[in-house]
Amino acid sequence: MPNLQAPRGTRDLLPSQTPAWTRLERLAADLAARYGYRRIETPLFEQAAVFERGVGAVTDIVEKELFRIAPRTEESESWALRPEPTAGIVRAYIQHGMQTLPQPVKLAMTGPMFRHDRPQAGRYRQFWQFDVEAIGDPGPAVDAEIIELGHRFFADAGLADVRIHLNSIGDAACRPAYIETLAAHYRPHAAELPAVERERLERAPLRLLDSKDPSMAPLNATAPRITDHLCGPCREHFDAVQAHLAALGVEFSLEPGLVRGLDYYTRTAFEYYLEGRQGQQQALGGGGRYDGLVELLGGKPTPGIGLGLGLDRILLALEAQGVPPAADPALTAVVVGADPAATADRLRVATILRSAGIPARAELGQRKLGKQLESAAKERAHFAVIVGDEFADGQVQVKDLEAGAQKLVAIADLARHIERAQASHRHGAPVER
């Protein structure tokens, strides 16, 4: 028999693990709604051009990490799994005419992304992100709002010691001159550069600051700072972002070496780290402004900003800090029976409870009553509904498994009885017969 396993760099989320994921997803959805960001879903795959144009051809994502899809037929289009959400969301913004809506359009998504990256702790080839985007607002106030939103997510999740790194990477008015200055810094050392970085020196010098190669650290440490080369409007915008964050009481550190690895970013760039765990491979998430992306993908010039938080790494960080994992939600009731063969009766009672919105499981195996009750207790169910001889008269026994109290209840009143008992928490009440 073949030994079939999940692909390298992916993993199964087992039932014991999913409560923690569900908790983060619910936190994300609640937070997005509180801040006025509406849910959007885009396809898991897009035309490869969406990412090649939006993410940038001279990036690790497109050069080495993009999962391309081989079509089964001779299609003219090339497809790829989404490596990040922003380009696809902007494509949807353009395609569906969202520029005619009141601006900014605030959107949120939580879902899987795909990169053919080298697997390591917290970095998978299929990974999950919580993403928010505000398209149509030039900032700077919305920049601060999004940065604060991300910081609040960590606080709501219970993660301590998260630090914000902030930078500005300029725009089309001032960045070209800076890039020339940056290239002049690296060119005398071209022979010392790793092959990949030597090639990027001529095509995209800014990418060298984003290098993952440790040998680049000394050169990057002495590289000219982009914040020393900002034009007047970019400097004014950056100062205003900092002022808004200060007004919100959000602490941050200026990090002149922080650049975003995607072509569409301009001006504001930020990342979140745990205290003492800085470095590209340690970021819990980040984002920035992308004022040129909508036009790059075929729309009218439109400003935008967004963030993406990596749920995989956040869960690992919560575990490392000893934050208790989310509990597997317990069933309210398990329907058991004195007659092991009377599965239809037990299923009918469970269906009545489910119709009333009460989580319930019917014991559909043909085991003795004692084994059924034992199983219900192990599942941490609050009640066992016992279908016995009284069922013919429209009644069942309801047993509080925590307190041991038991009462005969009419099936017509069963859902209301369980709801009242849960609300009153009357554990240990005397048995009523």
Tokens at 164, concatenated: 């914000």
Task: Give residue 151's domain range.
Answer: 18-174+230-320
The residue among 320, 344, 379 that closes a domain is 320
pLDDT at res. 427: 44
pLDDT at res. 269: 94
In a domain, 190, yes or no: no
Residue 139 shares a structural domain with residue 85: yes
Residue 29 shares a structural domain with residue 106: yes
Which residues lie across from 308 on neighbouring strands? 131, 286
Residues 6+ apart with CB under 8 A from 330: 379, 380, 381, 382
In a domain, 25, yes or no: yes
Residue 243 shares a structural domain with residue 357: no
Residue 259 shares a structural domain with residue 394: no
In a domain, 207, yes or no: no
Mind listing the pLDDT tens digit of every residue in the chain (433 residues)? 678 898 888 888 888 888 899 999 999 999 999 999 999 999 999 988 888 876 655 455 555 688 888 776 666 678 899 999 999 999 999 999 999 999 999 999 999 999 887 777 667 889 999 999 999 999 899 999 999 999 999 999 999 999 999 999 999 888 889 889 989 998 988 888 888 888 888 878 887 887 778 888 888 888 898 888 999 999 999 999 999 999 999 999 998 878 765 556 899 999 999 987 655 557 899 999 999 899 989 999 999 999 999 999 999 999 999 988 877 777 899 999 989 889 999 999 999 999 999 999 999 988 899 999 999 988 889 999 999 999 999 999 999 988 888 999 999 999 999 998 887 764 444 434 3
In a domain, 111, yes or no: yes
Cα(335)–Cα(347) distance, rounded to whole angstroms? 8
Residue 52 shares a structural domain with residue 150: yes
The residue among 320, 346, 379 that closes a domain is 320
- Specify the CATH number for the domain of residue 418: 3.40.50.800
Residue 380 shares a structural domain with residue 353: yes
pLDDT at res. 429: 44
Residue 82 shares a structural domain with residue 115: yes
Instruction: Give the Cβ contact number of residue 38 at 10 Å.
Output: 10
Tokens at 347, concatenated: 């299923």
pLDDT at res. 209: 81
Cα(87)–Cα(297) distance, rounded to whole angstroms? 8
Our count of domains for the chain comes to: 2
Residue 63 shares a structural domain with residue 89: yes
Tokens at 339, concatenated: 């007659």
The residue among 289, 320, 351 that closes a domain is 320
In a domain, 187, yes or no: no
Residue 247 shares a structural domain with residue 379: no
Residue 107 shares a structural domain with residue 170: yes
In a domain, 327, yes or no: no
Residues 6+ apart with CB under 8 A from 153: 27, 28, 31, 130, 309
pLDDT at res. 430: 41
Residue 154 shares a structural domain with residue 270: yes
- Specify the CATH number for the domain of residue 25: 3.30.930.10
In a domain, 2, yes or no: no
Residue 350 shares a structural domain with residue 307: no
